[in-house]
Chain A
Amino acid sequence: MFDGYTMSELGAIFAMQGFAGLILFSVFVLMALGLAIIFGQMGVINMAHGEFMILGAYVTYLCSTFFETYLPSIFGIYFFIAMILAFLASGALGMLVEWGLIRHLYRRPLDTLLATWGLSLILQQTYRSVFGAREVGVTIPNWMLGSLPLTDMIEVPINGLFVMALAVSIAAAVYVMIFRSKWGRQVRAVTQNRVMAGAVGINTERTDRLTFGIGCGVAGVAGAAFTMIGSTGPTAGQLYIVDTFLVVVFGGAASLLGTIASAFSISQAQSIMEFFLSGSMAKVLTLLVVVGILMLRPQGLFALKVRK
């Protein structure tokens, strides 16, 4: 498969595909972080996670249209406002869902899976009724267009760089929230032993609701970032949900570092193979390798050592 390429060309291909992989990596990280909070910390399987992400994307789309029409003077910074709104919208919906649905099902993880799948169908149809079945794209502000040429053969798009920066900062924020804040300590306590956490005075119900809300909110931000590199349709979320679950499981469910490492390896493998094989075969190979490794090492790359 390397026939007909010179060494420098190969180097450039690997660099460019590697960068494309980094953008995919950023989207994976953003989506998987939300899921890692919900699945890894709470043990809830949220099949509607993709739809929370798409909600964020639609919020960004609405913001983009609104700023373009009414406030063109500050259009350049609309994305930051959109991101905050996306976080709030998805987070609020997440808390509502936790209250109405998830909290009844904490002891039945497989049933959560089915119920949230139902939720995802309802959300998809809602998006289709409200925004139409066609994909919508946002207008990207001028400063994000274009690319930085590094060498003659390698150039990197600015929106990709922006999404990467976003992924890194959100990952840092989630790390601080879970491992350095009072809320994070409560979340971890509730995860490890719900009854004891309640006994020492932690309001477990409130913690759960907040955790689920923040997980969904992070998904909303992922959706906002997603609009920078692709268009949004009602069913776009479903395309990513299996990948995202595999990323989280592959990394080791309760480990943030593992999630990031696995998102990195999966996205890099996929995008580098994509250049040499067809897109679908690259995806099949990547998924097969991941599933194969999971069969050999079910606990994932980075397993948290907990006494059961």
Chain B
Amino acid sequence: MRAGTKILTPAEILGFVVLALLIFAVFPIALDIFRLNLVGKYLTYAFVAIGLVLCWGAGGILSLGQGVFFGLGGYCMAMFLKLEASTPEATAIQSTPGIPDFMDWNQLTALPIWWEPFNSFAFTLFAVVAVPTAFAFLIGLAMFKRRVGGVYFAIITQAFAAILTILIIGRQGYTGGVNGITDLRTLLGWDIRTDDAKYVLYFVNGVLLFVCLFAAMAIKKSKLGRLLIALRDQEDRVRFSGYDVANFKIFVFCVGAAMAAVGGAMFTLQVGFMSPSFVGIVPSIEMVIFCAVGGRHSILGAVYGALLVNWAKTTFSEAFPELWLFAMGALFISVVLLFPNGLAGLYATYVAPNVDTLINRLRPNSRAGTPKDIVAQGSPAE
């Protein structure tokens, strides 16, 4: 692992360029808007996967509750959009016009007080990131300060995913229940259901994804990133060196939550609804598998993992709905038993040496020694 170099290596720059070309050029040109919108949806999961690379791959904190943060971000956005769609004119047939339709169906006669702030777009943008991050901070503070980690942390975050799902489904009048918040139409008067809007949202999503990618890369390359790896491998030694381990864990967990929340908000915008089926235990564990397939130590791998697994899910479940769960199960087992480093591991073993050779051939005078020497030094061992 080449941690410690502050600047990106040529291979890493190449990786970013290839991904940027893929997202901003190849997909928009090659795919029609329906498929592109699907890719956009897959990419929202990549936000979660990047956060998991930081938490799990670097920090060793496996959270099975990322769906909670994804969902909270998505719900904050959905609440704003729903309020905008529920003008008194549009909801004139309800017994109480001006409130979201599901509230009317559940005999609510006024907007609940905690829905009020979501009339403001600025507050919504703030809440999308702040609410999940604050929640993650509370969980992290309670758990890591008491040195709860590993398996226990995973189980408790999973319990939170269960709690939030039950709460959303149970409090139908306030949250839309099992159907979620549907029928979202406009964002500040701009219709998000048209093809043009979908193109714009796709590119906004792509740009935000790259912001997260660079942020994650910066964290991983910094001293903080090296500390995270150290505390993953030997937590006690880091503690004995005088660091407050809990603070680092809380920080990285919050970063992961914030990224998941941004993904959730973009998901709502692109897909047009939000429901508890993206919050619960099952989606939360699936998010971990995106990260694992991509390679739990690789930030770029997370994006490919999310794309590949979701693409496979769509294709398989359209063609052979019965085989899909078998394939998914087999994926879980094989990625753990056979490819613990995921796609990134395969890349490092089989492709990276060739890429290094290529880069060095293109820059013959870059460093001392022949290209072959450099290849020998840059071992693929991760």
Q: A interface vs B, CB < 8 Å?
A: 43, 45, 101, 104-105, 108-115, 117-122, 124-125, 128-129, 238, 242, 245-246, 249, 278-281, 283-284, 287-288, 290-291, 294-295, 298
9 other contacts beyond A122-B325, A124-B325, with CB at 8 A cut-off?
A101-B337, A110-B62, A114-B285, A121-B329, A125-B322, A249-B152, A280-B166, A280-B170, A281-B170
B158 at the interface (CB under 8 A from A): yes
Residues on the A chain within 8 Å of B288, using CB: 114
Q: In chain A, what residue has the closest Cβ to B162?
A: A242
Q: Given that A119-B333, A125-B326 are contacting pairs, would A283 and B142 also be in contact in the complex, using a CB cutoff of 8 Å?
A: no
Q: Please report the C-alpha to C-alpha distance between residue A230 and residue B336 in the assembled complex, in whole angstroms.
A: 35
Report the bound CA distance from A245 to B171 in whole Å. Answer: 25
Give the CA-CA distance A43 to B337 in the complex, in Å: 18
Interface flag for B217 (CB, 8 Å): no
- In the complex the two chains form, what is the Cα distance from A113 to B163 in whole Å? 20
13 contacts between A and B (CB under 8 A): A110-B151, A114-B285, A114-B332, A114-B335, A115-B337, A118-B332, A119-B329, A119-B332, A122-B333, A242-B281, A249-B155, A284-B166, A287-B159
Partner of B155 from the list A117, A119, A238, A245 (CB cut-off 8 Å) is A245
- Say whether A117 contacts B322, CB under 8 Å: no
A276 to B335, CA, bound (A): 46
Chain B residue with minimal CB distance to A280?
A: B170
* B146 nearest CB neighbor, chain A only: A298
Interface size, chain B (Cβ < 8 Å): 43
Indicate whether B42 reaches chain A with its CB closer than 8 angstroms: no
B147 contacts A by Cβ under 8 Å: yes
Across the A-B interface, the 8 shortest Cβ-Cβ residue pairs: A118-B332, A280-B170, A122-B329, A121-B329, A125-B325, A118-B329, A295-B142, A118-B333
Q: Is chain B's interface secondary structure helix, strand, loop, or mixed overall?
A: helix
Shortest distance in angstroms between A235's beta carbon and chain B's nearest beta carbon? 10
Residues of B within 8 Å of A238, CB to CB, are: 281-282
A287-B155 Cα distance, complex, nearest whole Å:
12
User: Known contacts being A125-B326, A287-B159, A288-B163, is A115 close to B148, with CB within 8 Å?
Assistant: no
Does B328 sit at the interface, judged by CB under 8 A?
Answer: yes
Q: Which of B143, B152, B159, B281 has the most CB of A within 10 A?
A: B159
- Check B333–A101 contact: CB distance below 8 A: yes
Contacts of B171 in A (CB 8 A): 280
Residues on the A chain within 8 Å of B332, using CB:
114-115, 117-119, 121
**C-alpha spacing A137/B10, complex, angstroms:** 63
B218 contacts the other chain (CB 8 A): no
Produce 1/0 per residue, B286-324, CB < 8 A to A.
001100100000000000000000000000000000100
* Closest A residue, CB atoms, query B60: A110
A212 to B53, CA, bound (A): 31
Are B325 and A111 within 8 A (Cβ)? no
Q: Is B208 an interface residue (CB 8 A)?
A: no
Q: Shortest CB–CB separation between residue B275 and chain A, in angstroms?
A: 16
Structural contact, B156 and A113, CB atoms closer than 8 A: no
Interface centre among A108, A117, A294 (most CB of B within 10 A): A117
Which has the most chain B C-beta neighbours within 10 Å: A121, A245, A278? A121
B-chain residues with CB within 8 Å of residue A43 when the two chains form the complex? 151
Residues of chain B within 8 A (CB-CB) of A112 are 336
Chain B contacts for A249, CB-based, 8 A: 152, 155-156
Distance from B49 Cβ to chain A, minimum over Cβ atoms (Å): 14
